[in-house]
Chain A
Amino acid sequence: MVSRSSSPTVVLRLRGFRELGIIIFIVLISLVIGARNPRFLTWGNLHDMLLDTAILSILAVGMMLVLVTGGIDLSAESGLALTGMVAGMVIKAHPHLSPLFMLFLGLGLGSLLGALTGVIVAWGRVLPIIATLSMMYVYRGITFIISGGKWINAYEMPDSFKEMATGRLLGFSNLITIALLVYLVFYYFIYHTRTGREIYAVGSNLEAARIIGIDTTFITWLVYTLSGALYGLSGVMWVARYASAQNDTATGFVMTIVAACVLGGVSITGGVGSLFGVLLGSVTIGIINNALPMVRISPFWKMALQGIIILVAVMVNILITQSVERAQRRRRNEEI
């Protein structure tokens, strides 16, 4: 009995240790940057940083669910661009539409795009990497085609729409509120519903999940659809935030999303990932991106840095998993 309860605590302690590690890292890096540029630690800048992180953190939730099933969704960035462009065109043509309606439009359209990708992966049995790499270019191409290569600019959007990003609730930008709502909803979904738990079951052991009666095809489809819903929502938020819808919106952003996830401890082989970790990962990426110009590092560094962050984070994840397994094995041996 004793050993039974002790091995999960080792796992928990190490996972908790990992999240604590990220928090310490966040505090340290903030202090270092704050020391080099005091403006970094002002409330205004911290709020801006959270504002930028809001969209990333929502996207990271969708990506996490896909990664947990052992897949990957490279189409997130261009799905975001496509919904953003459609939202921009709709709001330009009908400026009286309410921002809330636009958000639901984004959710709906994104879900459709995600559902399509999901059908290809779940029922079409195409490897996620191949399917989503293709859809990444398909959605990007459609964005170009429907816009005719033109942008939707700030002056073509009504103020009510842009206020989605500039407006505040209790001192926080609406975008941050939306992100918090998304996290609340998904916290309930992932940790307190049957379907949410089934996602982890599918990612940990596909065969076992199927044998105990989980509809693995449906779950696989579902995570891509949810990812779609979230990048659709983010697309509308993105356009409101930057007050323009462009054809190359978010090009390469999928790297940032994956980086936030793996930094937050999501395993890319599936089965592992926590909402809290992903939130911390997103905040860390937000800090780094925000800090680069503050410490006078050229923005050209961003891309390479993201590659390095992904590599290092994944290797750290592997090391942690290995030491957890080793600890468990040692416990088991002690039992015997």
Chain B
Amino acid sequence: MKRRFFRWEWLLLILIIGISIVNGRLSTHFWSYTGLMDALAVFLEKGFMVLTMVLVLVIGDIDISVASITALSSVLMAMAYRGGLPMALAVPLALAVGVGCGYFNGTLIAKIPGLSAIIVTLAGSSLYRGIAYILLGDQAVGGFPSWYSYLAWGYIKGTHIPFIIVAFLVCALFYGLLLHRTTFGRRLYAIGNNLVAARFSGVPVARIKQIVFTLNGLMAGVAAVFLTSKLGSSRPNIALGYELEVIAITVLGGVSPSGGKGGIVGACLALLLMRLLRYGMGLKNIPGQVMMVLIGIILIGVVMVPQLVSTRKGKPLVRES
């Protein structure tokens, strides 16, 4: 299993190199240091959501509500700022909203047996964005202080490294260590591979699920802070459809949606791959709708092909609802 997972990451790397070569041919600007840095920075708010989506998929669950949590965090932050709260306090508020929504998801999923992550987060995706709509209707709130736009657009002083890349790498390192170097991380794999066995071995499954969904909410809040900074304003329909792309990137990174497989490195490579793919398609002027179709097909393909191969080999299939 370890070897297969190893190979998957090499495959991603080869694809990344291939697409980079194509991109380089399409645009002479592509291989410049500044161009590359800027290109990577554009996309990274989704990266924050990918990091914890890895944890969610590793335990064999799914979270469809992330994009809605991002929208609600962003709207509440913007409204608090409009209502007179200093931006320096509104940003932590966005994170707190994310944590709150994630905790709510996690508590329902963990504490009520029979309530699956699919239905809770499906309802959540309607509920959280719905609250954002109740609060803001079809308006937009903007006019944030100038330092706030630094988060998404600024560079580290004296260099051409965007701040958001540094922030992302710090988070990636944190979740990488958490998942691959701690007991907590090992327990996530135990739950994903065999929930019942994990429970009988004394893994506090309910508690861990709660923590994982709360962390996912937190990162949706972090994404909200960066996304709002990038857009310069907030409205209830921001981050619409992000959940598909975040899940697609995570699965493309070798994290199986049935749990127990994959890691942070693969997900980060998949994030890079998806960004480069989008960059190339942007150069070719391919509209966003085609991209949506393509991402859907990629997601299905990535899940289907290894599944079919393993069925061929006669391995038993585990199907969970």
Partner of B119, one of A126, A127, A298, A314: A314
Majority secondary structure of chain A interface residues (helix, strand, loop or mixed): helix
Tell me the nearest residue of chain B to A303, going by C-beta: B130
- A60 CB to closest chain B CB, in angstroms? 15
Report the bound CA distance from A83 to B131 in whole Å: 31
Which one, B118, B119, B130, contacts A301 given CB within 8 A? Answer: B130
Cα distance A133–B116 in the bound complex, in angstroms: 17
Dominant secondary structure of chain B at its interface with chain A: helix
Which B residues touch A127, using CB under 8 A?
257-258, 303, 319-320
List residues of chain B with CB within 8 A of the CB of A270. Answer: 321
Instruction: Name the residue on B nearest A138 (C-beta).
Output: B296
Among A25-33, A35-43, A305-313, A326-334, which stretch is in contact with chain B? A305-313
Contact B130 A130, beta carbon cutoff 8 Å? no
Contact of B130 among A145, A262, A306, A318 (CB under 8 A): A306
Q: Are A137 and B133 in contact (CB under 8 A)?
A: no
Whether B289 contacts A145 by the Cβ 8 Å rule is yes
Q: Cβ of B137: which chain A residues have Cβ within 8 Å of it?
A: 298, 300
CA distance A262 to B126 in the complex (A): 15
Q: With A124-B307, A137-B293 as known contacts, state yes or no: A252 contacts B126, CB within 8 Å.
A: yes
CB contacts (< 8 Å) of A300 on chain B: these are: 130, 133-134, 137
Specify the chain A residue showing the minimal Cβ separation from B134: A300
B247's contact among A133, A301, A310, by CB below 8 Å, is which? A133
Q: How far is the CB of A227 from chain B (nearest CB, A)?
A: 16
Partner of A140, one of B125, B258, B292, B319: B292
Contacts of B204 in A (CB 8 A): none
Contact across chains for A304 and B126 when beta carbons are under 8 A apart: yes
Pick from A130, A131, A141: contact of B293, CB under 8 Å: A141
The answer to whether B119 and A135 touch across the interface, beta carbons within 8 angstroms, is no
Question: Across the two chains, which residue of chain B brings its CB closest to A304?
Answer: B130
B295 at interface (Cβ–Cβ under 8 A)? yes
A318: which B residues are within 8 A, CB to CB?
A: 112-115
Size band of the A side of the interface? 35 or more
Of B114, B243, B321, most buried by chain A (CB within 10 Å of CB) is B321
Nearest CB in chain A to that of B300: its residue = A134
> Which residues of A lie under 8 Å from residue B134 when comparing CB positions?
298, 300-301, 304
Q: Specify which chain B residues have a CB less than 8 angstroms from the CB of A252 in the assembled complex.
A: 126
Contact with A along B297-317 (1 / 0, CB 8 A): 101100110011001000001
Q: Distance (Å) between the CB of A326 and the closest chain B CB?
A: 14
Whole-angstrom distance between the Cβ of B114 and the nearest chain A Cβ: 4
> B244 contacts A269, CB within 8 Å?
no
Q: Are B130 and A305 interface neighbours, CB within 8 A? A: yes
Which B residues, 64 to 117, have Cβ-Cβ distances below 8 Å to chain A?
64, 108, 112-116
Per-residue B-contact encoding for A130-160, CB less than 8 Å = 1, 0 else: 1101111110111011000000000000000
Does A72 interact with chain B (Cβ within 8 Å)? yes
Per the bound structure, the CA–CA distance linking A148 and B67 in Å amounts to 27
Most chain B CB inside 10 Å of its own CB: which residue of A130, A306, A318: A130
Instruction: Decide yes or no whether A321 CB sits under 8 A from chain B.
Output: yes
Whether B122 is near chain A, meaning CB under 8 Å from some CB there, is yes
Specify which of B113, B120, B300 is in contact with A131 (CB 8 Å cutoff): B300
Q: Are A129 and B120 in contact (CB under 8 A)?
A: no
In-complex Cβ contact of A310 among B119, B248, B291 (8 A): B119
Query: Other than the known A134-B297, A311-B127, what 13 A-B pairs have Cβ atoms closer than 8 Å?
Result: A72-B118, A127-B258, A130-B251, A130-B303, A133-B243, A133-B299, A135-B300, A136-B244, A138-B292, A141-B291, A301-B130, A305-B130, A307-B128
Between A and B, 14 residue pairs with Cβ closer than 8 Å are: A125-B304, A125-B308, A127-B303, A130-B62, A133-B244, A134-B296, A141-B289, A300-B133, A303-B126, A303-B129, A304-B130, A307-B128, A307-B130, A308-B127
Give 8 closest A-B pairs by Cβ, nearest first: A304-B130, A307-B127, A303-B130, A307-B126, A141-B293, A134-B296, A144-B289, A310-B123
